C-alpha cells in the first residue's frame, strides 16, 4: 500500500515535467522572437543610415562626403580590375605601423596602471577618451583641411596633441601618491 505522500509525489511528477517542458518551449520561442527583433532592428538601422547618407551625400562636395552608391560602384570596379590591393596594401602597412606604435605602448601602460580587477574600467576609460578626442579632431581635420590645406591642419593638430600631452603631464600622479611601478 502506498502512502499519500508517494501518491502525491507521483501525481505531481508528470504534471511538473510537462509544465517544465512547456516553460522551456515558451522561453525558446521568446528567445527566437527577440533574436529576430534584434536582426530586424539592425537591418532597419543600416537601411536608414544608408538612405540618409545617400540623400545628404548628394548635397555635399563629393570629395568630402560621397554617396554610398558611388562608393559601392567604385569598390566593385576596383575589385574587378585588381586595382584594390594596389592602393589598399600600402594603407594597411601604414595603419599597422601606426597602430602598433600607439596602441601597444598605451595598452601596456594601462595594464601596468591598475590591478586586474581595475583593468576593464581602465580600458573602457581609455576607449571613451580616445573616441572623444577623435570626435573633436576628425571634424577639425576634415573641415579645415578643405579650407586651409592639409599642411596647416597638420600643424594645428600637432599643437592640439602637444597641449594634450601637457595636460596629461600636469594631471599625472604626483610624487607621494600611491602608484604602481612602471618598470
Helix 4-57 / helix 68-81 crossing angle, nearest 10 deg: 90
Q: How many domains does the chain have?
A: 2
What spatial distance separates the first Cα and last Cα of the chain, rounded to whole Å?
Answer: 79
Torsions phi, psi of 173, nearest 5?
-60, 135
65 or 9: which leads in pLDDT: 65
In a domain, 68, yes or no: no
In a domain, 50, yes or no: yes
In a domain, 47, yes or no: yes
Domain extent, residue 9, equals: 1-61
Give the model's confidence band at 135: pLDDT under 50 very low, under 70 low, under 90 confident, else very high.
very high
d(CA 82, CA 124): 39
In a domain, 92, yes or no: no
| Average pLDDT, rounded, for the chain | 85
Q: Are 160 and 137 in contact (CB under 8 A)?
A: yes
Cell of 31: 528567445
Percent of the residues in the chain that have a pLDDT greater than 70, as a whole number: 86
Domain boundary among 18, 40, 61: 61
Cell of 103: 596602441
In a domain, 87, yes or no: no
In a domain, 29, yes or no: yes
Burial class of residue 178 in the structure, from the number of CB atoms within 10 Å of its CB (0-12 exposed, 13-18 middle, 19+ buried):
exposed
pTM for this one?
A: 0.47
- CA 46-52-55 angle, 5° bins: 140
Condensed to tens digits (0 to 9), the pLDDT of residues 139-164 reads: 888 888 889 988 899 999 999 999 98
In which residue are the cell numbers 532592428 written?
Answer: 41
Report whether pLDDT(8) > 60: no
In a domain, 168, yes or no: yes
What pLDDT score does 38 carry? 95
Report whether pLDDT(167) > 70: yes
In a domain, 143, yes or no: yes
Amino acid at each position: 500500500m502506498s502512502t499519500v505522500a508517494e501518491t502525491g509525489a507521483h501525481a505531481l511528477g508528470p504534471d511538473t515535467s510537462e509544465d517544465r517542458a512547456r516553460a522551456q518551449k515558451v522561453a525558446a520561442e521568446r528567445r527566437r522572437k527577440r533574436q529576430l527583433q534584434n536582426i530586424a532592428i539592425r537591418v532597419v538601422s543600416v537601411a536608414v543610415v544608408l538612405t540618409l547618407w545617400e540623400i545628404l551625400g548628394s548635397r555635399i562636395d563629393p570629395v568630402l562626403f560621397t554617396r554610398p552608391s558611388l562608393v559601392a560602384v567604385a569598390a566593385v570596379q576596383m575589385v574587378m580590375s585588381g586595382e584594390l590591393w594596389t592602393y589598399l596594401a600600402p594603407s594597411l602597412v601604414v595603419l599597422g605601423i601606426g597602430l602598433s606604435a600607439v596602441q601597444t605602448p598605451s595598452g601596456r601602460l594601462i595594464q601596468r596602471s591598475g590591478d586586474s580587477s581595475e583593468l576593464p574600467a581602465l580600458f573602457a576609460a581609455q576607449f571613451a577618451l580616445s573616441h572623444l578626442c577623435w570626435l573633436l579632431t576628425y571634424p577639425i581635420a576634415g573641415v579645415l583641411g578643405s579650407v586651409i590645406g592639409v599642411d596647416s591642419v597638420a600643424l594645428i593638430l600637432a599643437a592640439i596633441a602637444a597641449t594634450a600631452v601637457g595636460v596629461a603631464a600636469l594631471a599625472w600622479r604626483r610624487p607621494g601618491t600611491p602608484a604602481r611601478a612602471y618598470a
